[in-house]
A and B are shown apart, each in its own frame.
Chain A
């Protein structure tokens, strides 16, 4: 799906810690949860009837939903945004595509200002944050032999969506999309990675964990200067998301 979403300012603030941008609730986690619930009510009417139905997949989808709404404000205007699960945050199914892509095509027809940001998101209620390593795997798949995961197929899928959803048939524009992603990771200078961890805030060290993630992704051949890790911390995340999924407010 695609969105140029407008909504009230997120109840999150960001702090840059070393290489990682950390988002936390502002003024509090309770306010952040309330803001998320408000967004969910705008998006879905199919709430979770029973607590037992809650699972990691739904938790992940809500995490993607949160990451999308928190991040997009800082992305700015003029971007085409594509996502897989963000408009179905309570779905028991999680799409296999890229979580969120932000595509910018500059006014300069040479394409010099064009860029693509790929945000892969993982959600964990554990303060150990070991699940962050799964982000490394997600980005590694961009070099996969699997054509449903390989970056080049995904870029071509974006072209298809640009044409068939936005009605953009201008060949030159679609070619610029094609040119964004060089098949050699070390030469892929217009694709930015936003590895994002939505996580339990209490007793966690997301900056350390995501710095390691950045190094590991860089070791795959991608330029580390184009990798911008993001952490979104929420206190008592598991409980909070369970409540949200049932259309209930939550105060941690």
Chain B
């Protein structure tokens, strides 16, 4: 065991070094040299670790805390020196190498690699000791490192045998390489000698974590899966991955599992292993449910790359749709689906018996409004299917769960199948920037905080950022543009300050789409792209301008190394922006929360530019869970070893109690930062803390789930109690609310006097009528289905598809499943300032079906043609229009048409003869004719 005297406060040194690296005054009185001394001492205390138990103990924070603190300290001092004086560069490089080895001893090879690569290549390759340390921290770079070995036979032999040891886990190769490593241990340079002494521990840890070990420890995993992971450059597992796969048998387990692992600890790979093991023995269907398309895309790519060729990986993204490509019963398939698509598939598939495993990513999304209700309902139905004997397994993933007992009970996850891991590869730093520009870092959930420091205790002295504008709550309902623009300048000032202190690309999370554009514009006024990025950014900017001429403003920003990212941007532009972040070219990206929550991009820091969810009267504070999720994503493992999240106390918004009252503001912000409450069912806030429309949407989503549950539980005498009782609501204190909702929904379904008749009959048990079966296929709530049946029975039903879609949109704008406020507004009256009018809907549908680009359709609107608005206002109008297109034209309208198809048998003859499904497919598959591929 390590021997750290109790009077060595390594936590305080780590905090002090972190503060100084950020240009802030430490709270403890230490010096950089003192911090280095403590850190090197701590590393030295572990450098005799050799056997399995000792190496395993280095994964545990309670034992390895001095080592983790040391690694962070060394890297922080290295950063501090690097930005202070050129004469310290060699020391900075040396400390980065020592930090790398310390991280590797802890099994944190992503941060080990990041650290050694922070050292200048000349320093890193000057001596054999440093090259060997680099090879141990970053084994995938061995072929590059060999080039620097000066034909030193023993050194080259070490690299070859180390590579062989990792890829084959053959003990002989390990023994040979370890012996060779020892032969380099004596160095005249004390730093190199110390480095080599500790490198031996890192070496053993690397061998222990070699992914190739899985061949022996988890024989249920197909060897082709392991081989493909290695081919993809993954040579070592992260400690939680090794523990869960090798020690806990996660992949081959047949029981439901809940994984609560921090971001960047490799949940996706664990899920992949579960999928691979489930399909290893026999044919069947595995499902990965991803709530964000960005995550689904990443998972899809990974699965296609890692799974054996006999496994078909199918993407099921987009809105509600029950169609599914037919599957041969002798095949192995993995469906990567959004919750809506999975729900649709589950309602109609005849393949339920072939289901082997369902991975549910981002489980905490069950808390989020109607989408959460659909997820909760679908998972509850899966649980009931399991209770009825279905043999599939549920694997649920989340990074941000707090108390999980209710979840475990709901999911039937035993204590031993609930895995909560604190191990994380990246240190998470949290700071609050007050409205006057005073910024203070604080301790968060990090286990390394000094004794007595609570969550929220300052970990540094304050720094002051000069904010150029005075922004105060506005005394009116709508905030004027000039206030928003001024607020954007303040955010830009904070972002620039963070970029100077923390380096690396930063993400600025904005409450509204318009803010993303304004903040990016404010930054682009002063920022200049680096020379290394300029050529690539110029190329991207040219591509944007060529394909989307109205985005010339964005193109200019991109040239400066700045971009905004929101749903109004064409899909391909969003992907270009994301790629530029991955390539390290963009310095700042201002986005809405979707990017922050969904994509795994290498941002060094995140600035949450407002603590409220919007800039309108009564806007609620950000959900603490959303904030935790965003905060967990900055500082991606493998790119950075630290991630900072800064919350800004913006005062932008209409004068209201929570915004204007300092005490209420402080309390609300404190809750965002520290609240650790268990997840709620989305039903919990219905009728109380939820807007009316959202309440209706949640109720509709749950009602629809009841309809789906009826045929899935044909023997249930009391489907309401059964479904409600199996829900998460029942496990989190909202059973009565949900049961009442279901009771009302069932009564509505049983009402035979309503249009079209009853959806269900109480034959004890309840069963669906033919109408009910069709309604269930639609995915809509009973109330909305009634309206659909009414629509299909209208005598004036147009035979013109364009007019049909336009009429349907007008009539169904207000149903709870329709979430676009813009459509509601334009259909309610014409006394609004939007460019799109209700009367324009038919021409919009027409242009949409003809393949016109979104911009072209927008510019064809009569209001646009005659407008004299400023470009800024036009772009704001366009953003609303794009939101309408995304939500309504691409998703809601096809959903409506598919539902008409399902229900047409209950309409007029005209309705029955119409090709609704064909129209839905046309709406979905229309091609944007205006886009020209830059490379063509």
**Footprint of B on A, CB under 8 Å?**
84, 95-98, 143-157, 159-161, 163-165, 171, 174-175, 178-179, 181-184, 187
Contacts and interface: CB of A to CB of B under 8 A. Distances in A.
A182 B197 contact: no
B45 A84 contact: no
Contact of A184 (B34, B81, B188): B34
B197 A152 contact: no
Contacts of B196: 160
B651 to A, nearest CB: 41
A161 B37 contact: no
A174 B34 CA distance: 23
Contacts of B262: none
A157 B194 contact: yes
A90 to B, nearest CB: 18
Interface stretch (B90-98, B351-359, B497-505): B90-98
Contacts of A178: 3, 41, 44-45
A145 B40 contact: no
Given A145-B33, A182-B5, A97 B188 contact: yes
Interface string B411-433: 00000000000000000000000
Interface of B: 3, 5, 7-8, 31-34, 36-38, 40-41, 43-45, 47-48, 77, 81, 88, 90-91, 94-95, 98, 182, 185-198
Contacts of B187: 157, 160
A146 B34 contact: no
* Interface of B, helix, strand, loop or mixed by DSSP: helix
B71 to A, nearest CB: 13
Contact of B91 (A84, A147, A163): A147
A148 B94 contact: yes
Nearest to B77: A145
Nearest to B196: A160
B94 to A, nearest CB: 4
B11 to A, nearest CB: 14
B98 A147 contact: yes
A131 B618 CA distance: 73
Given A97-B190, A146-B94, A156-B47, A151 B3 contact: no
Contacts of A174: 48
A143 B186 contact: no
B182 A183 contact: no
A187 B81 contact: no
B185 A145 contact: no
Given A178-B44, A182-B5, 17 more contacts: A96-B190, A97-B188, A148-B189, A148-B190, A150-B190, A152-B36, A152-B44, A156-B193, A159-B197, A160-B186, A160-B196, A161-B193, A175-B45, A181-B41, A182-B8, A184-B8, A184-B37
B186 A156 contact: no
B234 to A, nearest CB: 31
B194 A146 contact: no
Q: Which of A144, A146, A147 has the most CB of B within 10 A?
A: A147
Nearest to B45: A178
A150 B186 CA distance: 17
Contacts of B90: 146
Contacts of B38: 183-184
A96 B187 CA distance: 11
Contact of A159 (B32, B44, B189, B192): B44
Contacts of A84: 188
B94 A175 contact: no
Contacts of A143: 31, 33-34, 37
Nearest to B74: A147
Contacts of A156: 40, 43-44, 47, 190, 193-194, 197-198
Nearest to A155: B44
B37 A183 contact: yes
Nearest to A97: B190
B185 A152 contact: no
B82 to A, nearest CB: 11
A145 B32 contact: yes
Contacts of A161: 186, 193
- Interface core residue of B5, B185, B186, B191 (most chain A CB under 10 Å): B191
Contacts of A175: 3, 45, 48
B218 to A, nearest CB: 32
A151 B194 CA distance: 11
B689 to A, nearest CB: 52
B137 to A, nearest CB: 16
Question: Most A CB atoms within 10 A — which of B37, B40, B47, B91?
Answer: B37
A162 to B, nearest CB: 10
A144 B81 CA distance: 12
Nearest to B88: A145
B185 A187 contact: no
Contacts of A148: 94, 189-192
8 contacts: A84-B188, A96-B190, A145-B33, A149-B190, A154-B190, A154-B194, A164-B185, A184-B8
A95 B31 CA distance: 27
A159 B33 CA distance: 21
Contacts of A98: 190
B311 to A, nearest CB: 48
A243 B269 CA distance: 72
Contacts of B182: 164
Given A161-B186, A175-B3, A145 B193 contact: no
Nearest to A221: B34
A6 B36 CA distance: 38
Nearest to B186: A164
Contacts of B195: 147
**What are the 4 closest A-B residue pairs judged by CB atoms, nearest first?**
A152-B40, A157-B193, A156-B194, A148-B191
B780 to A, nearest CB: 66
Contacts of B94: 146-148
Contacts of A182: 5, 8, 41
Nearest to B90: A146
B41 A152 contact: yes
A109 to B, nearest CB: 14
Nearest to B8: A183
Contacts of B198: 156
Contacts of A160: 185-187, 193-194, 196-197
Contacts of B98: 147, 153
A163 B190 contact: no
Contacts of B193: 153, 156-157, 160-161
Contacts of A146: 90-91, 94, 191
A144 B91 contact: yes
A151 B98 CA distance: 15
Which of A84, A98, A148, A181 is packed against the most chain B CB atoms within 10 Å? A148
Nearest to A177: B44
Contacts of B41: 152, 178, 181-183
Contacts of A184: 7-8, 34, 37-38
Contacts of A157: 187, 190-191, 193-194, 197
Contacts of A149: 190
B459 to A, nearest CB: 21
B3 A147 contact: no
Nearest to B182: A164
A187 B9 CA distance: 13
Nearest to A96: B189
A226 B729 CA distance: 69
Given A152-B41, A181-B41, A95 B188 contact: yes
A145 B95 contact: yes
B688 to A, nearest CB: 56
A49 B59 CA distance: 59
A157 B3 CA distance: 18
Q: Output the residue of A160, A163, A174 with the most chain B CB within 10 A.
A: A160
Contacts of B189: 96-97, 148
A159 to B, nearest CB: 6
A160 B186 CA distance: 7
Contacts of B191: 146-148, 153, 157
Contacts of A181: 41
Nearest to A188: B37
A152 to B, nearest CB: 4
